Amino acid sequence: MIWLTWRQFRAQAWVALAVLAVAAVALAVTGPNLASMFDASGIVGCAARGNCGALIDAFGYQVGHNAPDNVLDHLGPWVLFAVPSLIGMFWGAPLVTRELETGSFRMVWNQSVTPARWLAVKLALIGLASMATAGLLSLAFFWWSSPVERVSMARMTPGTFGATGIVPVGYAAFAFTLGVAAGILIRRTLPAMAVTLAVTAGAQAFMALWLRARLIAPVRAVIPLSSAVLSQFDVSPRTGRFIVYTGGNEPQGIPGAWILSGPETITTPAHVASQACIQSPALVPRPCLADLARLHLTQTVTYQPLSRYWPLQWYETAIFLALALALAGFSLWRVARRG
């Protein structure tokens, strides 16, 4: 059975190895250059010198204008998001439908191996190959992008989280077994492929946009506004309230956190603000900001801190592996029962 699985999976395995090889070469050729660029940027230890902002901007500019780095940096997450769906569509969905469509199941299911065992071996071996493919791609990209990550601290954001760490392994196992189960239920390859793509992409989006933030209760923090983060203010013509804007979106003190809500725009009744602010709002005069700081304004933020990256990775991977096991069990049950 192992021989037959390999014989029928051979061509697809070579394609996967070719993709892995191309990715490995591309990342291995450009990776060391990216790392040395980071070392030369002087970002390490910049905090002591107080010039981090400028150095990070300069490094980001360098990466953005180095064609291979820029392409890989943007392409990598897309590839890692797409690979599970591709595995589900091209390895999972046709696994049983191909046998049904060509009629060969009537030959192979009459050898001295029960159809359930036939499917179990295929699910196990090709399932492991799926997980290995996604895992190796993720590992290679993780290594390559680590200098960029140290600067951007974007690992927790939805666009990066699902394309790094061990989560792609869970996605791949899920998509593969989903493809097999869809094929067994629908019995035709093309519709099964379409369903696999839609459900896999849907599950990834649902996880990123809704469920992941709720796996661990988010941190809710009230952050005092210092004059350093205040950048601009305005008076609302409608309510007459005083609106304060902070410089960046990032609240201070929680680097790399995944901000779920906030920071809210701070409003306060206009009369509390100093006369200086109202006189010349467009100029953002220093005295006004100092006055505002004295009001002890605060803003509320909910977020998942960077320290929860690995716990969330494990939770999410476990969820998808459990779904994959359920789908595999369902497929085995259907094939064993038949008709």
d(CA 99, CA 105): 5
Residues 295-324 that bind another protein (CB under 8 A): none
Cβ proximity to another protein, 98 vs 150, nearer residue: 98
Residue with tokens 């439908």: 97
To the nearest 10 degrees (0 to 180), the angle between helices 309-337 and 167-186 is 20
21 binds another protein (CB under 8 A): no
d(CA 196, CA 174): 10
If you write DSSP's letter for every residue of 38-98 in order, what string do you get? HHHHT-TTHHHHT-HHHHHHHHHHHHHTSHHHHHHHHHHHHHHHHHHHHHIIIIIHHHHHH
4 binds another protein (CB under 8 A): yes
Smallest gap from residue 337 Cβ to another protein (A): 6
Smallest gap from residue 102 Cβ to another protein (A): 7
Other Cβ atoms less than 10 A from the Cβ of 190: the count is 12
Length of the chain in terms of residues written: 339
SS3 state at 224: strand
If you write DSSP's letter for every residue of 126-173 in order, what string do you get? HHHHHHHHHHHHHHHHHHHTHHHHHHH--TTSHHHHTTSTTHHHHHHH
- Is the Cβ–Cβ distance between 186 and 177 less than 8 Å? no
List the structure tokens of 320: 């998808």
* Segment lying near another protein (by CB under 8 A), choices 1-9, 132-140, 303-311, 318-326: 1-9
Smallest gap from residue 134 Cβ to another protein (A): 26
146 binds another protein (CB under 8 A): no
Cβ proximity to another protein, 1 vs 201, nearer residue: 1
Strand ranges across the sheet with 266-269: 230-235, 241-246, 266-269
Smallest gap from residue 182 Cβ to another protein (A): 20
| Binding-site member from 33, 70, 102, 227 for another protein (CB under 8 A) | 102
Smallest gap from residue 111 Cβ to another protein (A): 4
Cβ proximity to another protein, 116 vs 219, nearer residue: 116
Residues 236-295 that bind another protein (CB under 8 A): none
Cβ proximity to another protein, 97 vs 138, nearer residue: 97
| Mask for 103-122, x = binds another protein (CB under 8 A) | xxxxxxxxxxxxx-x-----
Smallest gap from residue 126 Cβ to another protein (A): 16
Contact set with another protein (CB under 8 A): 1, 3-4, 7-8, 102-115, 117, 337-339
